[in-house]
Structure 1
Protein backbone atom coordinates (compact mmCIF):
# COMPACT_ATOMS: atom_id res chain seq x y z
CA UNK A 1 0.00 0.00 0.00
CA UNK A 2 2.85 2.38 0.79
CA UNK A 3 4.49 1.74 -2.57
CA UNK A 4 1.22 2.47 -4.34
CA UNK A 5 0.80 5.74 -2.45
CA UNK A 6 4.38 6.67 -3.24
CA UNK A 7 3.81 6.04 -6.95
CA UNK A 8 0.75 8.27 -6.97
CA UNK A 9 2.28 11.09 -4.96
CA UNK A 10 4.35 12.79 -7.70
CA UNK A 11 1.34 12.95 -10.02
CA UNK A 12 -0.86 14.28 -7.24
CA UNK A 13 1.74 16.90 -6.30
CA UNK A 14 2.02 17.92 -9.96
CA UNK A 15 -1.73 18.39 -10.29
CA UNK A 16 -1.91 20.31 -7.04
CA UNK A 17 0.90 22.57 -8.27
CA UNK A 18 -0.90 23.16 -11.57
CA UNK A 19 -4.13 24.05 -9.76
CA UNK A 20 -2.34 26.51 -7.46
CA UNK A 21 -0.54 28.15 -10.38
CA UNK A 22 -3.77 28.49 -12.35
CA UNK A 23 -5.69 29.85 -9.38
CA UNK A 24 -2.93 32.34 -8.65
CA UNK A 25 -3.06 33.64 -12.22
CA UNK A 26 -6.85 33.71 -12.59
CA UNK A 27 -7.47 35.22 -9.16
CA UNK A 28 -4.91 37.93 -9.89
CA UNK A 29 -6.43 38.68 -13.31
CA UNK A 30 -10.13 38.53 -12.39
CA UNK A 31 -10.34 38.59 -8.61
CA UNK A 32 -11.67 35.82 -6.42
CA UNK A 33 -15.35 36.44 -7.14
CA UNK A 34 -15.03 36.44 -10.93
CA UNK A 35 -12.74 33.41 -11.35
CA UNK A 36 -14.80 30.24 -10.92
CA UNK A 37 -13.94 26.66 -10.05
CA UNK A 38 -15.02 25.76 -13.58
CA UNK A 39 -12.58 28.30 -15.05
CA UNK A 40 -9.66 26.92 -13.05
CA UNK A 41 -10.56 23.30 -13.76
CA UNK A 42 -10.77 24.00 -17.49
CA UNK A 43 -7.48 25.89 -17.37
CA UNK A 44 -5.64 22.86 -15.96
CA UNK A 45 -7.55 20.30 -18.04
CA UNK A 46 -9.39 18.66 -15.14
CA UNK A 47 -12.99 18.09 -14.19
CA UNK A 48 -14.40 20.15 -11.37
CA UNK A 49 -14.80 16.98 -9.32
CA UNK A 50 -11.16 16.10 -9.95
CA UNK A 51 -10.01 19.53 -8.87
CA UNK A 52 -12.16 19.46 -5.73
CA UNK A 53 -10.42 16.24 -4.78
CA UNK A 54 -7.29 18.34 -4.15
CA UNK A 55 -9.06 21.43 -2.77
CA UNK A 56 -12.53 20.82 -1.30
CA UNK A 57 -13.78 24.33 -2.04
CA UNK A 58 -12.92 27.54 -3.84
CA UNK A 59 -12.33 29.18 -0.46
CA UNK A 60 -9.88 26.44 0.52
CA UNK A 61 -8.03 26.97 -2.75
CA UNK A 62 -7.85 30.72 -2.16
CA UNK A 63 -6.39 30.26 1.32
CA UNK A 64 -3.86 27.75 -0.02
CA UNK A 65 -2.70 30.30 -2.61
CA UNK A 66 -2.36 33.03 0.02
CA UNK A 67 -0.57 30.77 2.48
CA UNK A 68 1.92 29.64 -0.14
CA UNK A 69 2.80 33.26 -0.88
CA UNK A 70 3.38 33.93 2.80
CA UNK A 71 5.53 30.82 3.19
CA UNK A 72 7.70 31.90 0.24
CA UNK A 73 8.20 35.32 1.80
CA UNK A 74 8.98 33.88 5.24
CA UNK A 75 11.58 31.56 3.73
CA UNK A 76 13.19 34.43 1.81
CA UNK A 77 13.17 36.59 4.96
CA UNK A 78 14.90 33.90 7.02
CA UNK A 79 17.54 33.32 4.35
CA UNK A 80 18.23 37.06 4.10
CA UNK A 81 18.66 37.49 7.85
CA UNK A 82 20.94 34.44 7.97
CA UNK A 83 23.12 36.05 5.29
CA UNK A 84 23.67 39.08 7.52
CA UNK A 85 21.18 41.58 6.14
CA UNK A 86 19.62 43.86 8.74
CA UNK A 87 15.85 43.81 9.23
CA UNK A 88 15.02 46.88 7.11
CA UNK A 89 17.22 45.69 4.23
CA UNK A 90 15.54 42.30 4.48
CA UNK A 91 12.18 44.04 4.20
CA UNK A 92 13.39 45.79 1.04
CA UNK A 93 14.67 42.51 -0.38
CA UNK A 94 11.27 40.88 0.15
CA UNK A 95 9.56 43.68 -1.78
CA UNK A 96 12.19 43.44 -4.51
CA UNK A 97 11.80 39.67 -4.81
CA UNK A 98 8.01 39.92 -4.99
CA UNK A 99 8.21 42.49 -7.77
CA UNK A 100 10.00 39.96 -9.93
CA UNK A 101 6.64 38.19 -10.07
CA UNK A 102 4.14 41.04 -10.59
CA UNK A 103 1.26 38.59 -10.79
CA UNK A 104 1.81 37.72 -7.11
CA UNK A 105 1.87 41.39 -6.13
CA UNK A 106 -1.31 42.00 -8.12
CA UNK A 107 -2.97 38.96 -6.59
CA UNK A 108 -2.29 40.18 -3.07
CA UNK A 109 -3.48 43.71 -3.84
CA UNK A 110 -6.75 42.55 -5.40
CA UNK A 111 -7.57 39.96 -2.77
CA UNK A 112 -6.69 42.21 0.18
CA UNK A 113 -9.07 44.85 -1.20
CA UNK A 114 -11.84 42.34 -1.91
CA UNK A 115 -11.52 40.84 1.55
CA UNK A 116 -12.56 44.09 3.26
CA UNK A 117 -16.09 42.70 2.92
CA UNK A 118 -16.63 40.61 6.04
CA UNK A 119 -18.21 37.63 4.30
CA UNK A 120 -15.27 37.27 1.90
CA UNK A 121 -13.55 33.89 2.52
CA UNK A 122 -10.17 35.59 2.98
CA UNK A 123 -11.42 38.33 5.33
CA UNK A 124 -10.31 36.63 8.55
CA UNK A 125 -7.03 35.51 6.95
CA UNK A 126 -6.10 39.08 6.02
CA UNK A 127 -7.18 40.50 9.39
CA UNK A 128 -5.02 37.96 11.20
CA UNK A 129 -2.18 38.34 8.72
CA UNK A 130 -1.95 42.11 9.30
CA UNK A 131 -2.09 41.59 13.05
CA UNK A 132 0.75 39.09 12.89
CA UNK A 133 2.86 41.22 10.54
CA UNK A 134 2.41 44.30 12.73
CA UNK A 135 3.26 42.37 15.89
CA UNK A 136 6.30 40.69 14.34
CA UNK A 137 7.60 43.93 12.84
CA UNK A 138 7.09 45.79 16.12
CA UNK A 139 9.25 43.19 17.85
CA UNK A 140 11.96 43.32 15.17
CA UNK A 141 12.07 47.12 15.17
CA UNK A 142 13.13 47.14 18.82
CA UNK A 143 16.63 46.29 17.59
CA UNK A 144 16.52 49.06 14.97
CA UNK A 145 15.03 52.02 16.82
CA UNK A 146 15.99 53.58 20.14
CA UNK A 147 12.71 53.94 21.99
CA UNK A 148 14.16 56.69 24.18
CA UNK A 149 14.50 58.83 21.04
CA UNK A 150 10.89 58.47 19.95
CA UNK A 151 8.60 61.51 20.13
CA UNK A 152 6.23 61.58 23.10
CA UNK A 153 3.35 59.19 22.58
CA UNK A 154 5.03 57.45 19.63
CA UNK A 155 5.42 53.68 19.71
CA UNK A 156 7.27 51.04 17.74
CA UNK A 157 3.91 49.59 16.73
CA UNK A 158 3.03 52.93 15.12
CA UNK A 159 6.33 52.81 13.17
CA UNK A 160 5.54 49.25 12.10
CA UNK A 161 2.08 50.18 10.86
CA UNK A 162 3.49 53.20 9.02
CA UNK A 163 6.00 51.01 7.22
CA UNK A 164 3.29 48.53 6.25
CA UNK A 165 0.98 51.33 5.09
CA UNK A 166 3.65 53.03 2.97
CA UNK A 167 4.66 49.73 1.36
CA UNK A 168 1.04 48.87 0.58
CA UNK A 169 0.23 52.32 -0.76
CA UNK A 170 3.27 52.47 -3.01
CA UNK A 171 2.50 48.93 -4.17
CA UNK A 172 -0.88 50.08 -5.50
CA UNK A 173 0.69 53.03 -7.33
CA UNK A 174 3.37 50.73 -8.77
CA UNK A 175 0.77 48.26 -10.03
CA UNK A 176 -1.21 51.02 -11.71
CA UNK A 177 1.89 52.54 -13.33
CA UNK A 178 5.25 50.77 -12.81
CA UNK A 179 7.08 53.74 -14.37
CA UNK A 180 5.65 56.25 -11.90
CA UNK A 181 7.24 55.03 -8.69
CA UNK A 182 9.86 52.66 -7.31
CA UNK A 183 8.90 50.82 -4.14
CA UNK A 184 12.55 50.28 -3.25
CA UNK A 185 13.43 53.96 -3.61
CA UNK A 186 10.27 55.08 -1.85
CA UNK A 187 10.89 52.82 1.13
CA UNK A 188 14.55 53.85 1.42
CA UNK A 189 13.46 57.50 1.41
CA UNK A 190 10.87 56.77 4.10
CA UNK A 191 13.45 54.96 6.23
CA UNK A 192 15.71 58.01 5.83
CA UNK A 193 13.02 60.14 7.47
CA UNK A 194 13.08 57.74 10.41
CA UNK A 195 16.89 57.72 10.81
CA UNK A 196 16.97 60.21 13.74
CA UNK A 197 15.20 57.58 15.83
CA UNK A 198 17.47 54.67 14.91
CA UNK A 199 20.03 53.17 17.24
CA UNK A 200 22.53 53.53 14.40
CA UNK A 201 21.50 56.52 12.25
CA UNK A 202 24.24 55.61 9.77
CA UNK A 203 22.95 52.08 9.23
CA UNK A 204 23.33 51.10 5.58
CA UNK A 205 19.93 50.06 4.22
CA UNK A 206 20.02 48.57 0.73
CA UNK A 207 19.78 45.43 -1.40
CA UNK A 208 23.57 45.16 -1.53
CA UNK A 209 25.27 42.18 0.08
CA UNK A 210 26.34 42.89 3.68
CA UNK A 211 30.05 43.24 4.33
CA UNK A 212 32.11 40.25 5.40
CA UNK A 213 32.64 41.91 8.79
CA UNK A 214 28.88 42.08 9.40
CA UNK A 215 28.43 38.43 8.45
CA UNK A 216 30.76 37.28 11.22
Structure 2
Protein backbone atom coordinates (compact mmCIF):
# COMPACT_ATOMS: atom_id res chain seq x y z
CA UNK A 1 0.00 0.00 0.00
CA UNK A 2 1.43 3.37 -0.96
CA UNK A 3 1.61 6.30 1.38
CA UNK A 4 -1.34 8.01 -0.25
CA UNK A 5 -5.04 7.93 0.47
CA UNK A 6 -8.00 6.87 -1.67
CA UNK A 7 -9.02 10.48 -2.19
CA UNK A 8 -5.67 11.36 -3.71
CA UNK A 9 -3.87 13.10 -0.87
CA UNK A 10 -0.21 13.66 -1.44
CA UNK A 11 2.47 11.62 0.27
CA UNK A 12 3.59 12.73 3.73
CA UNK A 13 6.57 14.97 4.14
CA UNK A 14 9.70 13.03 5.02
CA UNK A 15 11.83 15.96 6.17
CA UNK A 16 15.32 16.65 4.95
CA UNK A 17 17.29 16.63 8.20
CA UNK A 18 18.10 13.58 10.29
CA UNK A 19 16.27 15.18 13.21
CA UNK A 20 13.13 15.64 11.12
CA UNK A 21 13.28 12.03 9.94
CA UNK A 22 13.68 10.81 13.51
CA UNK A 23 10.75 12.94 14.67
CA UNK A 24 8.55 11.64 11.85
CA UNK A 25 9.44 8.04 12.69
CA UNK A 26 8.73 8.66 16.38
CA UNK A 27 5.28 10.07 15.57
CA UNK A 28 4.62 7.09 13.31
CA UNK A 29 5.55 4.57 16.02
CA UNK A 30 3.36 6.37 18.57
CA UNK A 31 0.47 6.45 16.09
CA UNK A 32 0.91 2.72 15.45
CA UNK A 33 0.70 1.99 19.18
CA UNK A 34 -2.26 4.36 19.64
CA UNK A 35 -4.25 2.90 16.75
CA UNK A 36 -3.48 -0.62 18.00
CA UNK A 37 -4.66 0.23 21.51
CA UNK A 38 -7.66 2.45 20.80
CA UNK A 39 -8.57 1.85 17.16
CA UNK A 40 -8.53 4.45 14.40
CA UNK A 41 -11.93 5.95 15.19
CA UNK A 42 -11.31 6.39 18.92
CA UNK A 43 -7.75 7.72 18.60
CA UNK A 44 -7.28 11.43 18.01
CA UNK A 45 -4.48 13.43 16.46
CA UNK A 46 -4.31 15.46 19.66
CA UNK A 47 -3.69 12.32 21.71
CA UNK A 48 -0.92 11.23 19.34
CA UNK A 49 0.58 14.72 19.39
CA UNK A 50 0.54 14.82 23.20
CA UNK A 51 2.31 11.47 23.43
CA UNK A 52 4.90 12.62 20.90
CA UNK A 53 5.47 15.92 22.70
CA UNK A 54 4.44 18.05 19.73
CA UNK A 55 1.40 20.07 18.72
CA UNK A 56 -1.35 18.70 16.52
CA UNK A 57 -0.05 21.05 13.82
CA UNK A 58 3.32 19.38 14.26
CA UNK A 59 1.81 15.98 13.46
CA UNK A 60 0.01 17.43 10.43
CA UNK A 61 3.26 18.96 9.23
CA UNK A 62 4.53 15.43 8.55
CA UNK A 63 1.33 13.60 7.61
CA UNK A 64 -1.20 16.29 6.54
CA UNK A 65 -4.23 14.29 7.76
CA UNK A 66 -5.26 11.50 10.11
CA UNK A 67 -6.13 9.35 7.10
CA UNK A 68 -2.66 9.74 5.64
CA UNK A 69 -1.15 8.97 9.04
CA UNK A 70 -3.12 5.71 9.05
CA UNK A 71 -1.87 4.90 5.54
CA UNK A 72 1.71 5.44 6.73
CA UNK A 73 1.14 3.27 9.80
CA UNK A 74 -0.16 0.42 7.63
CA UNK A 75 2.84 0.80 5.32
CA UNK A 76 5.17 0.60 8.32
CA UNK A 77 3.27 -2.46 9.48
CA UNK A 78 3.82 -4.13 6.11
CA UNK A 79 7.51 -3.19 6.06
CA UNK A 80 7.92 -4.70 9.53
CA UNK A 81 5.95 -7.82 8.67
CA UNK A 82 7.58 -8.86 5.40
CA UNK A 83 10.93 -9.09 3.67
CA UNK A 84 10.26 -7.33 0.38
CA UNK A 85 13.40 -8.77 -1.23
CA UNK A 86 12.47 -12.42 -0.74
CA UNK A 87 10.51 -14.36 -3.34
CA UNK A 88 7.37 -16.08 -2.12
CA UNK A 89 8.09 -19.72 -1.22
CA UNK A 90 6.38 -22.30 -3.43
CA UNK A 91 4.10 -25.16 -2.53
CA UNK A 92 4.19 -26.51 1.00
CA UNK A 93 7.15 -24.21 1.75
CA UNK A 94 4.73 -21.27 1.70
CA UNK A 95 2.42 -23.01 4.16
CA UNK A 96 5.42 -23.57 6.44
CA UNK A 97 6.19 -19.88 6.00
CA UNK A 98 2.73 -19.12 7.44
CA UNK A 99 3.51 -21.26 10.48
CA UNK A 100 6.84 -19.46 10.91
CA UNK A 101 5.04 -16.11 10.62
CA UNK A 102 2.74 -17.05 13.49
CA UNK A 103 5.79 -17.99 15.55
CA UNK A 104 7.34 -14.57 14.88
CA UNK A 105 4.05 -12.85 15.65
CA UNK A 106 4.19 -14.25 19.18
CA UNK A 107 7.11 -11.86 19.70
CA UNK A 108 5.38 -8.84 18.09
CA UNK A 109 2.31 -8.16 20.17
CA UNK A 110 1.97 -4.58 18.95
CA UNK A 111 1.91 -5.58 15.29
CA UNK A 112 -0.61 -8.35 15.96
CA UNK A 113 -2.88 -6.04 17.96
CA UNK A 114 -2.72 -3.35 15.28
CA UNK A 115 -3.77 -5.85 12.61
CA UNK A 116 -6.54 -7.39 14.72
CA UNK A 117 -8.03 -4.06 15.81
CA UNK A 118 -7.88 -2.28 12.46
CA UNK A 119 -8.98 -5.27 10.36
CA UNK A 120 -12.11 -5.66 12.48
CA UNK A 121 -12.74 -1.91 12.59
CA UNK A 122 -12.31 -1.64 8.81
CA UNK A 123 -15.57 -3.55 8.28
CA UNK A 124 -17.49 -0.44 9.41
CA UNK A 125 -18.92 1.88 6.78
CA UNK A 126 -16.53 4.47 5.40
CA UNK A 127 -13.46 3.28 7.30
CA UNK A 128 -10.29 4.57 5.55
CA UNK A 129 -8.50 1.21 5.88
CA UNK A 130 -11.31 -0.82 4.31
CA UNK A 131 -9.73 -0.97 0.84
CA UNK A 132 -6.37 -1.83 2.37
CA UNK A 133 -7.71 -4.85 4.23
CA UNK A 134 -9.97 -5.94 1.36
CA UNK A 135 -6.94 -5.92 -0.97
CA UNK A 136 -4.77 -7.60 1.65
CA UNK A 137 -7.18 -10.49 2.16
CA UNK A 138 -7.64 -10.88 -1.58
CA UNK A 139 -3.86 -11.05 -2.03
CA UNK A 140 -3.42 -13.48 0.86
CA UNK A 141 -6.18 -15.75 -0.45
CA UNK A 142 -4.51 -15.73 -3.86
CA UNK A 143 -1.09 -16.59 -2.35
CA UNK A 144 -2.40 -19.48 -0.24
CA UNK A 145 -4.49 -20.83 -3.13
CA UNK A 146 -1.48 -20.62 -5.45
CA UNK A 147 0.69 -22.41 -2.89
CA UNK A 148 -1.82 -25.26 -2.60
CA UNK A 149 -1.99 -25.52 -6.41
CA UNK A 150 1.83 -25.54 -6.59
CA UNK A 151 1.99 -28.27 -3.95
CA UNK A 152 -0.31 -30.34 -6.15
CA UNK A 153 1.82 -29.66 -9.24
CA UNK A 154 5.03 -30.50 -7.35
CA UNK A 155 3.52 -33.82 -6.25
CA UNK A 156 3.49 -32.77 -2.58
CA UNK A 157 -0.28 -32.94 -2.33
CA UNK A 158 -2.90 -34.92 -4.25
CA UNK A 159 -6.01 -32.80 -4.29
CA UNK A 160 -9.11 -32.03 -6.33
CA UNK A 161 -10.81 -30.04 -3.56
CA UNK A 162 -11.79 -26.37 -3.73
CA UNK A 163 -8.42 -24.76 -3.05
CA UNK A 164 -9.88 -21.29 -2.50
CA UNK A 165 -12.13 -22.71 0.19
CA UNK A 166 -9.12 -24.33 1.84
CA UNK A 167 -7.23 -21.03 1.65
CA UNK A 168 -10.11 -19.20 3.34
CA UNK A 169 -10.10 -21.76 6.15
CA UNK A 170 -6.36 -21.36 6.76
CA UNK A 171 -6.60 -17.56 6.88
CA UNK A 172 -9.62 -17.70 9.19
CA UNK A 173 -7.77 -19.98 11.60
CA UNK A 174 -4.73 -17.70 11.66
CA UNK A 175 -6.77 -14.56 12.35
CA UNK A 176 -8.88 -16.29 14.98
CA UNK A 177 -5.79 -17.61 16.76
CA UNK A 178 -4.31 -14.12 16.89
CA UNK A 179 -7.38 -12.77 18.70
CA UNK A 180 -7.35 -15.67 21.17
CA UNK A 181 -3.62 -15.15 21.76
CA UNK A 182 -4.05 -11.42 22.41
CA UNK A 183 -6.66 -12.23 25.06
CA UNK A 184 -4.81 -15.18 26.64
CA UNK A 185 -1.20 -15.42 25.41
CA UNK A 186 -0.24 -18.14 27.90
CA UNK A 187 -3.05 -20.40 26.71
CA UNK A 188 -2.54 -20.24 22.94
CA UNK A 189 0.40 -21.49 20.84
CA UNK A 190 -0.35 -19.83 17.51
CA UNK A 191 2.31 -21.57 15.43
CA UNK A 192 1.56 -25.06 16.78
CA UNK A 193 -2.18 -24.64 16.24
CA UNK A 194 -1.67 -23.27 12.72
CA UNK A 195 0.63 -26.18 11.87
CA UNK A 196 -1.92 -28.68 13.20
CA UNK A 197 -4.78 -27.19 11.19
CA UNK A 198 -2.77 -27.03 7.95
CA UNK A 199 -1.61 -30.62 8.42
CA UNK A 200 -5.19 -31.80 9.04
CA UNK A 201 -6.48 -29.83 6.06
CA UNK A 202 -3.87 -31.29 3.73
CA UNK A 203 -4.69 -34.79 4.96
CA UNK A 204 -8.38 -34.12 4.37
CA UNK A 205 -8.08 -32.92 0.79
CA UNK A 206 -5.66 -35.76 -0.01
CA UNK A 207 -8.08 -38.30 1.42
CA UNK A 208 -10.91 -36.88 -0.67
CA UNK A 209 -8.77 -37.35 -3.77
CA UNK A 210 -7.92 -40.98 -2.98
TM over 0.5: yes
CA distance in 2, matches of 1:141, 1:76: 22
The offset of 1:77, in angstroms, is 8.7
Give yes or no for the alignment of 1:46 onto 2:54: yes
CA distance in 2, matches of 1:31, 1:176: 16
CA distance in 1, matches of 2:128, 2:94: 32
Q: Which residue of 2 aligns with 1:149?
A: 158
Give yes or no for the alignment of 1:116 onto 2:123: yes
Give yes or no for the alignment of 1:194 onto 2:194: no
Q: Structure 1: where are the runs of 5+ without partners? A: 1-6, 199-216
Q: Which residue of 2 aligns with 1:19?
A: 27
Give yes or no for the alignment of 1:185 onto 2:185: no
Q: Structure 2: where are the runs of 5+ without partners? A: 1-14
Give yes or no for the alignment of 1:129 onto 2:140: no
CA distance in 2, matches of 1:8, 1:127: 34
Q: Which residue of 2 aligns with 1:29?
A: 37
Secondary structure of residue in 1 paired with 2:80: helix
Give yes or no for the alignment of 1:171 onto 2:178: yes
Q: Is the 8 A contact 1:77 1:94 kept in 2?
A: no
Instruction: Give TM-score, length-normalised by structure 1.
Output: 0.78
Pick closer, same or farther for the CA change 1:109–1:92 going to 2, 3 Å: same
TM-superposition CA deviations, 1:129-182 (whole Å, max 9, x none): 11111112222222224698335xx32211211110000011111111112221
Q: Is the 8 A contact 1:80 1:90 kept in 2?
A: no
Over aligned residue pairs, what C-alpha RMSD do you find?
2.6
Q: Which residue of 2 aligns with 1:91?
A: 98
The offset of 1:39, in angstroms, is 0.7
CA distance in 2, matches of 1:162, 1:12: 44
CA distance in 2, matches of 1:119, 1:80: 32
CA distance in 1, matches of 2:29, 2:162: 40
Q: 1:10 aligns with which of 13, 18, 24?
A: 18
